[in-house]
A and B are shown apart, each in its own frame.
Chain A
Amino acid sequence: MEVVDIRPLLAPVVSLMCGFLVFFSGERAWWRRFWSIAAAIVNLGVVYSMLPGVLDGVIYKFALIEFTPGIGLAFRVDALGMFFALVSSSLWLITTVYAIGYMESEHERARFFGFFALCVSTTIGIAFAENLLTLFLFYEMLTICTYPLVVHEETPEAMKAGRKYLVYTLVGGVFVLLGTAVTFQWAGTLTLSQTGILDMSAGRQGLTLLFVAFVIGFGVKAAIMPLHGWLPSAMVAPAPVSALLHAVAVVKAGAFGILRITFCVFGVELLQDLGIAIWLAAVASFTIVVASVIALTQNNFKRRLAYSTISQLSYIVLGAALLTPLAALGAIVHIANQAFQKITMFFVAGAIQRTTGRTNIDELAGIGYEMPYTMGAFTVAALGFIGIPLTAGFITKWYLSLGAMETGHWIFVVVLITSSVLNAAYWLPVIYMAFFKVSPGVRPHVKEAHWTLLVPTIVCAIYVILLGSLAEVPGMPLSLARTAVEFFFGS
């Protein structure tokens, strides 16, 4: 059932407006905080109010404007879009609280929080895009809005990282735009409301190239190797930016784009005929393993996180590329699982940096006694990445493995197990350092992070456990992901 409703438009517009109000608040700290938090709450409220309907199979849509017949800006809330929007907007609220605490002593805060709000507005726009053009539009806006956040420190290193970021993502954007234009020529429509708009009449070779173009375009933000170069260098940005944008919004926008291309533009059947998705799965597997190996060698906390992100994102790509219902379910649900786990870790890294000034892993000896709650949260997230049952990561691994077995390619199960082992190999030593390696004779005393940093971290960690243990409860992300998968596979 499709319903015309203003809310799909309202969600991005409200946060956009608040973003501008933040700019105008300037250095008046109270107003700046007020508008930042207000934007987050209103945005979450609007998105959340559509959840019951979406779970019942209602689809909300709103056509904003049409340039020429068939080309225009339109919004549409289906299960997959809702899933992404819900994850982004709830994490945004948490991150805003964290950022207010974290950025206390920073410069240019109006610019920071203003663009922060704009980014989430564009992310919601990506989630609710009804057609490829709208999706592209917000995808590019996201690039522009994140640039000031990446170069926030204004150091030569930050400027260099920003340049790299722009080159990668804008080149990716060109591929997406090219793909969009070609799709319009072949399909005569750009809608994302169907399970495939292209068909074989366009020719096997052409379709293959088109798919590759889209994968490159979205793969840049999803950091598929070898398109990942921007992500580790972009870690110079402040911790909340890394957390929200490089573990959640930006990179997930890429992964989300790949899901849309796979299931809504090409469709499962066409991709099975083409036989190209298996190559994407191979590239994703390569990324999963190699990025994990590189993560092992990183000593800087945030850089290790960055490579872990690259590896984890490819779970989503792999799940999409396997083209089976269970793998797709694992892929979609991993959007939420990875987001909460990774944001917990980034919060921890930021809290440690702000509280103790330490940024490298070998400096963390005994930190578990100084910051017990923070490191407790970290432990939960680390166990999640390893895939221990009762944490979110287990759900992902379970469905992805089942999906891989459905295809009959056992090798992908091996990849997933290898990844678990590698995750254990680079996260467990941190926990060991934190709790079991206190220098003799030193009695560490508790010196926890400020509450604005601590509370968001703990909330996220608790949610990681909830995601893992209560996954089957209606209203949890899994039910939403299941609705999406049922639509894509037509059952």
Chain B
Amino acid sequence: MGGGQWPVVLIITPLIGAALTPILARRRPQIAGYWALFVFSIVTLAAGVLMYRVSTQGPFSYYMGGWRPPLGIELRFDEFSASIGVICLIGWLSLMFSLAYAKHALPERRIPYYFALVLLCLGGMNGFAVTGDIFNLFVFLEILSLSGYALVAITGERIAELAAFKYLVMGAISSLSILLAVGFMYALTGTLNMTDLAMRLRDVEPFPVAVAVGALTLGFSVKAALLPLHIWLPDAHSIAPSPVSAILSGLVVKIGVLGMLRMYQILYKAQIFDLSALNTTLMWLGAISIVLGALFAMVQEDIKMMLAYSTISNIGYIFMGLGLASKYGIIGASVHIFNHALIKATLFLGAGALIHQTGYRNLEDLRGVGKAMPITSAAIAIGAISIVGIPPTAGFLCKWYIALGAIEAGRLFFAVTLLFGALFIFVYYIRMLNAFYFMPPAHPEILDVGEAPVTMLIPIVVLAMLCLLMGIFGRIPLSFIEPAVTNMLAPIGG
């Protein structure tokens, strides 16, 4: 199996790189950022190779140490694993953004730890995306969650520690619940390998499996911040340093969704019981998340708080799409995993640049910043239009597919909720754009601040361009997602 080592590179490199960061940067903390960027460049390269391979040859597996499952550990690279593409892209750009940002926002001695934690978190996510084994799934989930808690607290401010603690408590509940489910599955079937599991679940009594599915759903919903399990998210995402917010909001919450997708893959293949009760629940929770997330966001004044609540709405889109369980619904949900990551990273990095340059984070104080920082503001405007789903931006395609999925499933009501929910979202983004562009500044000195340093500006511009391009070239993520969804739904005749 030529070139089969790449999945290992994906996981091992960031973990080793993270461990080395504090040692290498012991004397000169500033080099930590460049080192992390270098390490992650290798990972991104590996991701590129793997994505090329999956798009030309279809899914493939790698067996650690040559041991075949059920004994050995399998790394399975399928179309859903292609989400490492977006993990690496946003991870890399956030690291680049951090170079200048960390210098300003963090105490110097914490900088190496910051970069080490970011690498750990990204490595954990890569592992999560490619593992074919549910216990490893749990391990990687813990790696990325623990580094996430620490990253929220890293500024060392009291409020950050509180937010991180809240995040930790909720996260621990979710981890326990997932571990419980993994234990159940193992006890029932005697295997941890996902493919095996799907086969063996067919002969098992359904009730304990249902408990395990419930526990998994609970665990992943907390990670994904599905309403009403979202309470940790707004504080954690708004208080964390902006590049971390981009990673948390764009990627880490999606890990919960990815976990759900993995679970569905197994369940659809096993066909052990009817999933309609679960689907209906997710659909409703998704719809409620969309509307309430938007309503909460409307009353926020803090720009990052607003973005954090908007994540809850968008997670609602994704869960609604999953729950609809129709082809277009799941396609829409999966595309939104990619596109929302791009959009939210644009917005958080953009907001980070604004805060970095002006020192303000309330809408009222930021008035007139559109003239002072035209490039960043334009990027945020593109992100805002994108997240509302105005064509031809990235967000529109997801909305369109999920709406089609709702109609396909005969649930017009959810299509209506989705589309009007998006309007609610626009209400608060238009407030933001009005403040940036159409209102006289509250602090006249804001007109004198310039654009952020170029290492911060490039990631923002690249992401904003992608928000536009992904709407027009929406085929690219779709070429991965459509076969995956078709395979997934094949057993139930979708």
19 contacts between A and B (CB under 8 A): A65-B472, A65-B473, A66-B475, A67-B474, A68-B482, A133-B400, A136-B391, A137-B396, A141-B392, A143-B390, A148-B437, A154-B439, A171-B420, A174-B419, A174-B420, A174-B422, A181-B400, A182-B412, A184-B404
Given contacts A144-B385, A159-B438, contact A178 B391 (CB under 8 A): no
| In the bound complex, CA of A185 to CA of B423 (Å) | 23
Q: Is B480 an interface residue (CB 8 A)?
A: no
Question: What DSSP secondary structure best describes chain B's contact surface?
Answer: helix
CB pair A177 B438 closer than 8 Å: no
B391-A185 in contact (CB<8A): no
Cβ of A177 and Cβ of B400 under 8 Å apart? Answer: yes
The reply to whether A67 and B397 form a contact with Cβ atoms under 8 Å apart is yes
Which A residues touch B392, using CB under 8 A? Answer: 73, 137, 141
Is A290 positioned at the interface, with any CB of B under 8 Å from its CB?
A: no
Task: Tell me the bound Cα distance from A144 to B474 in angstroms.
Answer: 21
Distance in angstroms from A274 CB to nearest chain B CB is: 19
Tell me, rounded to whole Å, the shortest Cβ–Cβ distance linking A139 to chain B: 9
Q: Are B423 and A174 interface neighbours, CB within 8 A?
A: yes
Q: Is B24 an interface residue (CB 8 A)?
A: no
Q: How far is the CA of A68 from the CA of B483 in the complex (A)?
A: 12
Whether a CB of chain B sits under 8 angstroms from the CB of A390 is no
Residues of B within 8 A of A143 (CB): 390
B423–A141 touching, CB < 8 Å = no
Interface residues, chain A, CB within 8 Å of chain B? Answer: 65-68, 73, 133, 136-137, 140-141, 143-144, 148, 151, 154, 159, 162-163, 166, 170-171, 174, 177-178, 181-182, 184-185
User: Is the beta-carbon distance between A140 and B390 smaller than 8 angstroms?
Assistant: yes
Q: How far is the CB of A323 from chain B (nearest CB, A)?
A: 28
A143 to B423, CA, bound (A): 13
CB atoms of A170 and B415 under 8 A apart: no
Bound CA span A162–B437, Å: 13
Checking A141, A166, A182 against B407 with a beta-carbon cut-off of 8 angstroms, the contacting residue is: A182
B371 to chain A, nearest CB (A): 9
In whole angstroms, how far apart are the Cα atoms of A368 and B211 in the complex?
85
Q: Do B403 and A177 touch across chains, with their CB atoms under 8 A apart?
A: yes
Interface string of B381-415 (1 = CB under 8 A from A): 00001000011100011011001100110001001
Most interface-central of B408, B419, B439 (chain A CB within 10 A): B419
A76 to B272, CA, bound (A): 50
A185 touches B404 (CB 8 A): yes
Query: Which residue of chain B has the shortest Cβ distance to A143 in the bound complex?
Result: B390
7 tightest A-B contacts by CB?
A137-B391, A174-B419, A181-B403, A185-B407, A154-B438, A67-B474, A140-B390
CB distance from A365 to the nearest CB of B (A): 37
Smallest CB separation, A218 vs chain B (Å) = 16
Whole-angstrom distance between the alpha carbons of A154 and B385 in the complex? 20
B440 to A, closest residue via Cβ: A154
Instruction: Name the distance in Å between A187's Cβ and chain B's nearest Cβ.
Output: 12
Cβ A166 vs Cβ B420 within 8 A: no
Besides A174-B422, A174-B423, 8 other CB < 8 A contacts? Answer: A137-B396, A154-B438, A159-B434, A171-B423, A174-B420, A181-B400, A181-B404, A185-B404
| Chain A residues near B412 (CB-CB < 8 A) | 178, 182
Residues of B with C-beta under 8 A to A163? 430
Q: Within the complex, what minimum Cβ distance (angstroms) separates A316 from chain B?
A: 25
**Chain B residues within an 8 Å CB radius of A185:** 404, 407-408
Closest B residue to A154 by CB, please name it.
B438
Interface centre among B391, B420, B434, B440 (most CB of A within 10 A): B391
**Residue of chain B at shortest CB distance from A133:** B400
Please report which residues of chain B, range 440-489, place their CB below 8 angstroms from some CB of chain A when the two chains form the complex. 440, 472-475, 478, 482
Q: Which residues of B contact A154 (CB under 8 A)?
A: 438-440
- Tell me if B482 and A178 are in contact (CB < 8 A): no
- Asked if B35 is at the interface (CB within 8 A of a chain A CB), the reply is no
Write the chain A residue with the least CB distance to B328. Answer: A68
B387 CB → nearest A CB, Å: 13
- Roughly how many angstroms separate A266 CA and B51 CA in the complex, as a whole number? 44
The answer to whether B390 and A144 have CB atoms under 8 Å apart is yes
**CA–CA, A151 to B430, complex, Å?**
12
Q: Give the shortest distance, in Å, between A214 (CB) and chain B (any CB).
A: 14
State how many angstroms separate the Cβ of B334 from the closest Cβ of chain A. Answer: 13
Chain A residue at smallest Cβ distance from B406:
A181
CA distance A73 to B392 in the complex (A): 10
Say how far B183's CB is from chain A's closest CB, in angstroms.
Answer: 41
CA distance A233 to B214 in the complex (A): 53
A311 to B400, CA, bound (A): 34
B396, B473, B478, most chain A CB atoms within 10 A: B396
Q: How far is the CA of A185 from the CA of B415 in the complex (A)?
A: 13
- Tell me which residues across on chain A come within 8 A of B473, comparing CB atoms: 65
A159–B437 Cα distance when bound, in Å, is 11
List, in ascending order, chain B residues with CB within 8 A of A140's CB.
390-391
Asked if B438 contacts A68 (CB within 8 A), the reply is no
Give CA–CA (A159, B434) in the complex, Å: 8
Chain B residues contacting A162 (CB-CB under 8 Å) are 438
Expressed in whole angstroms, the minimum distance between the Cβ of B376 and any Cβ of chain A is 15
Given contacts A141-B392, A185-B408, contact A178 B426 (CB under 8 A): no
Evaluate contact between B415 and A178: CB separation under 8 angstroms. yes
Contact call B390/A67, Cβ cutoff below 8 A: no
Q: Within 8 Å of chain A (Cβ to Cβ): is B490?
A: no
In the bound assembly, the distance between CA atoms of A352 and B442 in angstroms comes to 36
Q: B391 CB to closest chain A CB, in angstroms?
A: 4
Partner of A141, one of B390, B403, B415: B390
> Are A141's CB and B420's CB within 8 A?
no
